[in-house]
Chain A
Amino acid sequence: MRKKHLALTEKKWFQILFWAVLVIAAWEIGATAVAMTKRTPENILPHLYQILAAAFSGKAVSGGMTASGVVLTSAGATLLRALGGFAIGAGLGFLLALAMKLSGLVEKLIFPYLMLIQLIPVLGLAPIILAITGDINRSRLVIAAILSFYPVAANTLAGFKAVSKDKYDLMFTYAAKKRQLYTKVLIPSAIPYLFTGLKIAAPMAITASILVDTLQGDGGLGCMLSQSLKHAMSIYVFWLIVFFSAFIGIFSTYLISWIEILVYPEKRSAAGIGRSAGKEKKYGRSTEKNRTQKEPGPETL
């Protein structure tokens, strides 16, 4: 068991390493090719070491700030709004899922049209939201909320619906009140589904917030991104933002997985499975001992 467990971890590390090497190799081959054929290769595909050098260079690129400084200060405005919109969207998504579960009418009225939200292109929606709200920060919040809303609502509802009939029957036998059915069975059952929704929504909220930035020149990651692309500042700011956003997006998903382990005790127990297997074995032995005193001879039908 222990050995198997170790082998599995090694395999996972191997996978990560494999992909990292593959991506870096592909990137560098591309960068070398670009460097040989194009006049401004850094605009298309710079070498990774060039990007790293830009990240750690003390040279000011804009308003006396280094490239990393620009990225980190503008990230604050964007990510804070992404987080706010994510929280609002996820909260509303959860409540709507609950409302749809509570009322068949609400579900019939809303659910089929809910996915339309997914189909509206954010870029098209963003200027309209900006015009309505009249404020870039509020727009970031609203767009991030709209995008977070659907995956959370749809997944949570799926979670409610995945509760088996047995569980309802059990609660009915114990004369459970509706409120108890929800707090003790339905909501806890839906939590893993809710987290799946949150893991999908978090990077989307960040992407949305960055996209909204590009609409106005008021700072934020997206704004710096487009300025950098228009050569208003070093192009390496662009590359840094690309990597930084990718990192934050992946990190947000991991962060949510980590929170899930904290709130959902069954996930925590996954780590203890090896230990309990030993105990189960002991149980098996003791019953076998009981058995040996008697003739088995089970007459089956």
Chain B
Amino acid sequence: MNAAEYTRNDVPDEIVIRDLGVTFQDNKGEDVQAITGVNLNIKKGEFVSLLGPSGCGKTTLLRCVADLQEPTDGDIHVEGMTPKEVRLQHKFGFVFQSPVLFDWRTVKKNVELPLEMMYQTKQQRSERADEMLEMVGLTNFANHFPNQLSGGMQQRVNIARALGIRPDILLMDEPFSALDEFTKEKLHEDLLRIWRKTNKTILFVTHNIQEAVFLSDRVCVLSPHPGRLSAVVDIDLPRPRTLDMKETPAFNQLVLKVRNSFEGGSFS
């Protein structure tokens, strides 16, 4: 199935990626194609995963959408604007793989940081930060410092901070890959609950098939050398999703389908 052909009626496209290619130079000066010929339309309010083995260009693709990386070929439009215009309007929330917290700021002040960049008043910031911390269940830790939190809690602060600016689009780069299974599953549920409540568009990078299937409306499978979009799998599991769905045959069939869509049929 071609990604560009994918349509989901009546909802407008939020992100349109056309013939996207990124070429890096390695240290010998030779060209390395990180990604090539990627076409993808993402609907408003959709949860889309980018799945693939290490080095297939998932991060590069996400960074292009966020305006952190200049594409070599093709273009990206977000709500009809360039990524730069969208970024300057604070419409992106980017959740990095590591929490990237500032250790001299309390948890609450970390969440307030992007709001400071938006010139919100002290009171606005404080109220918003409290709201976000409540959403991720960290109200009692507002005045702690990041080094006093566990990895999972730090990652929740990271998410709270990204959501605080009310972004239209949430870009997440393997946000849970460093976490244990228990924390991860808890955060999956949290993320889906927040997503349902706020109706954001989420582009979620992962290399975990179960994670991608459980969370997404669609899973985009990327293949390496050069990185390209090799398949898009619709996940028609009902919502809201619950952890026990992972035991159902429908879920396992989709996992199998995604796994088989990797070129050569294997992915490890």
Hey, which bits of chain A sit against chain B, CB under 8 A?
A: 164, 166-167, 169-177, 180, 184-185, 188-189, 191, 264-266, 269, 272-273, 276, 279-280, 283-284, 287-288, 290-291, 294-299, 301
CB distance from B62 to the nearest CB of A (A): 11
Q: Which of B100, B255, B268 contacts A167 (CB 8 A)?
A: B100
Interface residues in B235-267 (C-beta closer than 8 Å to A) = 243-244, 246-247, 255, 267
A–B Cβ pairs within 8 angstroms, 28 of them: A166-B96, A169-B96, A169-B100, A170-B94, A172-B67, A172-B68, A173-B92, A174-B114, A180-B117, A184-B116, A188-B102, A188-B104, A189-B102, A189-B104, A266-B104, A269-B147, A269-B148, A280-B150, A287-B182, A287-B183, A290-B186, A291-B185, A295-B244, A295-B247, A297-B247, A298-B181, A299-B210, A301-B207
CB distance from B266 to the nearest CB of A (A): 11
Q: How far is the CA of A169 from the CA of B165 in the complex (A)?
A: 16
**Chain A interface, DSSP helix/strand/loop, else mixed:** helix
- The reply to whether B100 and A170 form a contact with Cβ atoms under 8 Å apart is yes
Nearest residue in B to A191 (C-beta to C-beta)? Answer: B104
Within 8 Å of chain A (Cβ to Cβ): is B87?
Answer: yes
Within 8 Å of chain A (Cβ to Cβ): is B195?
Answer: no
Q: Which residues from B are CB-within-8-Å of A174?
A: 90, 113-114, 117-118, 165
Q: How far is the CA of A188 from the CA of B98 in the complex (A)?
A: 20
- The reply to whether B145 and A265 form a contact with Cβ atoms under 8 Å apart is yes
Q: Which residues from A are CB-within-8-Å of B90?
A: 174-175
CB contact under 8 A between A175 and B268, given known A170-B94, A265-B104: no
Q: How far is the CA of A204 from the CA of B94 in the complex (A)?
A: 46
Q: Which of B113, B145, B246, B267 contacts A301 (CB 8 A)?
A: B267
- The reply to whether B92 and A166 form a contact with Cβ atoms under 8 Å apart is no
CB distance from B64 to the nearest CB of A (A): 13
CB distance from B96 to the nearest CB of A (A): 6
